[in-house]
Amino acid sequence: MYLLDTNVCVQYLRGKNPVIRQHLAGKAAVEIAVCSVVLAELYLGALRSARPRENRTKIDTFVQPYACLPFDGAAAEKHSRIRHHLEQAGTPIGPHDLQIAAIALAAGITLVAHNTAEFSRVPGLAIEDWETQ
């Protein structure tokens, strides 16, 4: 199973990267998930856009077939451990990326993201970059 990061969703919605479209077309909807943090980031992007209603509809249509994973207690536990580890190492990552990574780890699934430099600092996180593969 795969958890889509915000950048992957944005690239898909903008139609900018055919490789992402190919990857998604090759997977069953049950193999794909988004999370509440990514959804919040997408909705904020729509609100900031010149066409908020149209973009919100695109987002809702895109994510509709996929499971939406919450930032729950299991993710909170992973979050605290990841953050502690990264702070001790002096290599923290952004707060939203930290939550997204924690959700992926708690669910035991692979994160699909282009920002591999930041996510690769999270121990045990499986990552795939569909923008370059």
Q: What is the pLDDT of residues 95-111, one digit of tens each?
A: 999 999 999 999 999 99
For residue 52, the domain's CATH number is 3.40.50.1010
Query: Could you read off the pLDDT of 58-97 as tens digits, one per residue?
Result: 999 999 999 999 999 999 999 999 999 999 999 999 999 9
- pLDDT at 133 exceeding the cut of 80: no
Count the domains in the chain. Answer: 1
Q: Pick from 35, 29, 119: which is nearest to 82 by CA?
A: 119
- Domain range spanning residue 97? 2-128
Helices (H), 26-113: 36-48, 52-63, 73-89, 95-107
Residue 133 lies in a domain: no
The span from the CA of 61 to the CA of 13, in Å, is 10
As given in the structure block, the two tokens for residue 6 are 């915000």
Residue 39 lies in a domain: yes
Look at residue 23 in the predicted model and tell me its pLDDT: 95
Residue 40 lies in a domain: yes
- pLDDT at 7 exceeding the cut of 80: yes
